[in-house]
Amino acid sequence: MTSTAPHDPVVATPPASTGRAPQAVTPVRRRLPKIGTADRAHDVVVGTVLVLAIAAILYPLYFIVIASVSEPSAILNGDVWLWPQGFTLDGYARILSDPGILRGFGNSLLYTTLATLVSVTVILCGAYALSRKDLYGRKFFTLLFIITMFIDGGLIARYLVVQDLGMLNTIWAVILPGAVGVWNLIIARSFFESNVPDELRDAAQLDGANDFRFFARIVLPLSKPLIALMVMIHLVANWNAFFDALIFLDDERMYPLQLVLRNVLIQSEVTAAGGSGALDSYAAAQRLGELIKYGMIVISSAPLLIALPFMQKHFTKGALLGAVKS
């Protein structure tokens, strides 16, 4: 009687060949869950709300554009809905015939570019410094910045400071007073704390990089979404800003576009009220004033409406990465 050793390996023999071609494996299709009535109703409600929200945002912009080339009488009568009525370019002709328009556009472009460059540079440098745990007095400086969000010296104190610094009627009076936005500084500081670990800085120091080189070569390339977010915020804010120029500038040749258009609108309203002889009648002056009003909105808003869609993806990503964490 023979016995098999308990530790003998068991060899699995392949199945005998039947001579038939291997059959194709049929993939198993999973059935998707059926969408219930409640889910469909939810989708319909959400889609309807989104469509209404988009229409509520886009239609006023579209209406301003068609109103700027329509007869004001048609607008007052409610005839302008989807298409311009009584097409005319008299408003744009009057605006562009003013020699101060192009000069104001150039001033706004200069102020916006320089103010954005200064603000983004100061915020990035200040936020990175505040994010460093080895900064002496870090909490004190942070608290000092936060206090300015709630306590302001007022317009008179601000004017006196600008006057004492000798910046009245200069380009720096428009750029420097609002260069640092504390809320943007906090967002940037939170971004650096969350995305630039201390281990990365230690590794760079082992390779011989000092703080300035580490900030320029490593921190800034990692912060492209945040930089895009800061640039977009300050572009919009500085382009629409006019109050500092109204307070600190006396020379009309230095006025930004917003102040120039404001003066053109006031002048047209005064002309309409006075019945100037340069126009045929009071009705014609009032008509021109309405066209100028709509045309100014289009001219002042067009640069931002053209530029912002190209930066939208950077804005969304930067806003998520730079969100303040509790």
76 and 112 both lie in a single domain:
no
Q: Is residue 326 part of a domain?
A: no
263 and 136 both lie in a single domain:
yes
Domain at 183, CATH number? 1.10.3720.10
| pLDDT for the residue numbered 276 | 47
**How much is the CA Rg of the chain, to the nearest whole Å?**
32
DSSP 229-282: HHHHHHHHHHHH--HHHHHH---GGG--HHHHHHHHHHHHHHHHHHT-TTSS-H
Q: Is residue 229 part of a domain?
A: yes
| pLDDT for the residue numbered 324 | 47
Number of structural domains, the chain? 2
Q: Is residue 38 part of a domain?
A: no
163 and 79 both lie in a single domain:
no
154 and 301 both lie in a single domain:
yes
d(CA 127, CA 148): 16
| pLDDT for the residue numbered 61 | 86
d(CA 119, CA 230): 9
58 and 142 both lie in a single domain:
no
Q: Which domain holds residue 76?
A: 43-88
Residues in the chain predicted with pLDDT less than 70, given as ranges, are 1-36, 268-283, 285, 311-326
Reference 112, options 234, 249, 246; nearest CA is 234
69 and 166 both lie in a single domain:
no
Q: Is residue 13 part of a domain?
A: no
Taking the model in full, what pTM does it have? 0.72
Reference 258, options 147, 128, 140, 101; nearest CA is 101
